[in-house]
Structure 1
Amino acid sequence: MQVWDDEQWLQNFWMRKATFLDLCVELALVPQLKDTRIRAALLVKMHMAITAWKLATLDCYRLVANQFGVGKLTVGAVLMQVCRAINCILLQRTVTLGNVRVIVDGFAEMGFPNCGGLIDDTHIPILAPDHLAMEYINRKGYFSMVLQALVDHRGHFTVINARWSRKVHDAHIFRNTGLYRKLQVGTFFPDQKITVGDVEMTIVIPGDTAYPLQTWLMKHDMENLDSSREWFNNRLSRCRMTVECAFGRLKACWRCLYGRLDFDADNIPIVRAACCTLHNLCEVEGEKFAQGWSGEADYLAAEFEQPDTRAIRGSQRGAIRIREALRQHFENENQ
């Protein structure tokens, strides 16, 4: 607190001192983190420092405990208290859709019209759970849980779903979310339509081949590839790089997500949601992301290769018409 400059804060906690202190002010409102008549609680700053250190490194509980002069059990208790507090106070305010007009305009500048977000998922390695462990082994042979998210044009998470194991197909996870139900009935985005060619198009979200083609969800066209379809696929892939980079920055900063999460299975979604919240908070505060962090994270990621997605077939006729109209539109722009 007295000696480190902002660069040292960034290297150790992924945020500057001012952002750290603002976060501590928010967390001081949580009853569990206040002093009591029975005993003096650890200072909120110490709670947040222990949590940030544990989330930002691959250190085990013993190393974190030694770093801060507390017991291993204290580290575990503090970590879950703070993660729950972050989710309670900041999650709904930070992981939120925001201004749809700004998001649509942002994606339009990338070359994709009337786009409200990007859907994707990533596998987070975990230790073997005590119960039903086989349900958590993915196609690459390691234990994992799926984090599915919708991100905006800046790479900020607007919706997250962190509770599923890998035995379930990506499309099945998506169909069992509130996001899917709202998109199906047209209540998630405002009723904003444009005309592409002679086809009316609502706000859409691009996804990969693991997701079902819908009037509100566009994905790659892999059948009968020709130059126009390649243009469509390239435009969609270029846009979808935003969500891939968002997951990359999330894991590069909060590296516990690379280290076989050593938490109880019921607590893992809480920790992952807190990491996504901190990701958005740091991005909004303009925290610097050093490119060297990505290289270090890539080294960690090599041990846990992401499983291939299984393509899902079947399409709505209206969705095919919209995709064909976009394909023609992109081809005309290229010409």
Structure 2
Amino acid sequence: MDVSTFEFLCFNLVPSLQRQDTNMRSAIPVQVKVTVSISRLATSNSMQSIADLFRIGQQAVNQFTHAVKLLLLKRFIRWPSTTTMDKFAREFEDIHGIPYVVDAVDDSHIPNVALSLHAADYYNRKGFHSILLQGVVSSKYLFWDFDIGWARSMHDANLWGRTAISQFCKAGKLAPYALVGDASYPCRPWMLAPFRGDNLWKTKWLQDASDEVHNGLSLMTPSGPARQEKLAINNELSSELGGYEDIVVSRPIASVSKELAQAVDQFSKDYGLDSEKVGSGYIGIYQIYLRADGESPVKEPEEGIRSKKVELLRNQMQMNNIILDAVVICLKEEDGALESKTSQENKLLLRSLAYDTLGDLVLVESYTTLL
């Protein structure tokens, strides 16, 4: 999260979270409350670890997290006004050519650890345990409705019928607009779904439109320990991890697009990174691995400034709609050797790359930690 986003959250939450100092103790600043909440929601770390980090009680962590979550939901996740609906419809028609469609709806796998009770209900057809996240997303990737926590064995149509937005649509609150869903959703006056069959050219329009929600849901796919474990187990780079000082793992935003995965192969090789596309991953996405040798992931200073090469890589990734999952940096030096100046500079540049591309920065003592 950048500074401007953090300040925006604090500014909007001050009226509700600000407390006055008393004779007994000073009030906890709003900035601390927001930081604690974001740490809890973004990392899923235990309340005990977050409480120890900020020197507050576990009960305070729980209270701050729930307060911030409810305030943000009330402000940003709500039924759009008529003016907003008109805006969504115009934006959707400009992109896809389909009138009176405001948003797309779909669900996504959220990997999780097998539960002690009813674990079989959460075991999906792809071979791992997960829960369902259903989202309604605009053409600008703005969420205004979601439902999460259902067992992944549940069918999409069954899940849709149990959600609040489905009842709103049946009551006519969405009229005259409609949503777009894939073939698993029922075809209704408020829901456009592809016809089943071949050579149906209109279905291609609906499929392109429903890709909007795939793109939006991929932005919300967690990068916590459960998902990282699944991705690390099922890749073809595991045997090569020990041969590189720094490894950048990325994936395309659109999980169904091979073109975005192939775009990495067209990167300029001037920055000295090798790319490898290893095909469909464990959870059905295309994975891209950008590999770099520790001593010279980019050219020497006399051949080109390293920061410029990293900037070139970052710009090309943004142009091709590719984001980072993680930048993995090994901190342990072999045989107690001092870290070279080149290696230090490379790690600083990779930290910058992770920050600018919204990737997670993972520090490990050995790459075997990821196996």
Whether these two folds match at TM > 0.5 is yes
In the superposition, relative to structure 1, how do residues 133 and 258 fare at CA in structure 2: closer, same or farther (>3 Å)? closer
**Could you say what secondary structure the match of 2:102 adopts?**
coil
Measured in 1, the distance between the counterparts of 2:115 and 2:210 equals 32
CA contact (8 A) 1:118 1:205 kept: yes
Moved more, 76-85 or 140-149: 76-85
2:216 is the alignment partner of 1:246? yes
What CA deviation, in whole Å up to 9, does each residue of 1:247-299 have, x standing for no partner?
Answer: 12223xx63496489xxxxxxxxxxxxxxxxxxxxxxxxxxxxxx96559989
The match for 1:166 among 152, 173, 177 is 152
Measured in 2, the distance between the counterparts of 1:40 and 1:302 equals 50
In the superposition, relative to structure 1, how do residues 207 and 245 fare at CA in structure 2: closer, same or farther (>3 Å)? same
The match for 2:122 among 136, 151, 165 is 136
**What is the identity percentage for the equivalent residue pairs of Structure 1 and Structure 2?**
23
- 1:243 alignment partner AA: V
The match for 2:223 among 244, 251, 255 is 255
2:74 is the alignment partner of 1:92? yes
In the superposition, relative to structure 1, how do residues 296 and 64 fare at CA in structure 2: closer, same or farther (>3 Å)? farther
Measured in 2, the distance between the counterparts of 1:131 and 1:78 equals 29
> Map of 1:168-317 to 2, 5 A cutoff?
168-187=154-173, 189=174, 191-192=175-176, 203-223=177-197, 225-226=198-199, 229=200, 231-251=201-221, 255-256=223-224, 259=227, 294=251, 302-305=281-284
> Map of 1:65-76 to 2, 5 A cutoff?
65=50, 69-70=53-54, 74=57
Measured in 2, the distance between the counterparts of 1:105 and 1:163 equals 32
Alignment TM-score, normalising by the size of structure 2: 0.54
**Could you say what secondary structure the match of 1:116 adopts?**
strand
Alpha-carbon shift at residue 62 of structure 1 (Å): 9.3
Alpha-carbon shift at residue 33 of structure 1 (Å): 7.6
Measured in 2, the distance between the counterparts of 1:84 and 1:117 equals 28
Show the counterpart of 2:86: 101
Structure 2: tracts of 5 or more residues without a match: 230-248, 256-277, 286-371
2:137 is the alignment partner of 1:151? yes
Measured in 1, the distance between the counterparts of 2:251 and 2:21 equals 39
What CA deviation, in whole Å up to 9, does each residue of 1:156-179 have, x standing for no partner?
Answer: 111111131213211111101221
Say which structure, 1 or 2, has more relative contact order (CA 8 Å, 6+ apart).
1
**Could you say what secondary structure the match of 2:135 adopts?**
strand
What CA deviation, in whole Å up to 9, does each residue of 1:37-67 have, x standing for no partner?
Answer: 665564332332243345445x84499649x
RMSD, matched Cα: 3.7
Whichever structure has more helix as a proportion of its residues is: 1
The match for 1:51 among 14, 24, 37 is 37
In the superposition, relative to structure 1, how do residues 131 and 222 fare at CA in structure 2: closer, same or farther (>3 Å)? same
CA contact (8 A) 1:96 1:159 kept: yes
CA contact (8 A) 2:113 2:226 kept: no
CA contact (8 A) 1:120 1:208 kept: yes
Alignment TM-score, normalising by the size of structure 1: 0.60
**Greater radius of gyration (CA):** 2
In the superposition, relative to structure 1, how do residues 258 and 156 fare at CA in structure 2: closer, same or farther (>3 Å)? farther
Measured in 1, the distance between the counterparts of 2:16 and 2:23 equals 16
Measured in 1, the distance between the counterparts of 2:94 and 2:196 equals 25
In the superposition, relative to structure 1, how do residues 26 and 235 fare at CA in structure 2: closer, same or farther (>3 Å)? same
Show the counterpart of 2:292: none
Structure 1: tracts of 5 or more residues without a match: 1-13, 193-202, 262-291, 307-335
CA contact (8 A) 2:20 2:27 kept: yes
What CA deviation, in whole Å up to 9, does each residue of 1:58-85 have, x standing for no partner?
Answer: x84499649x7347x95x6555434322
- 1:162 alignment partner AA: I
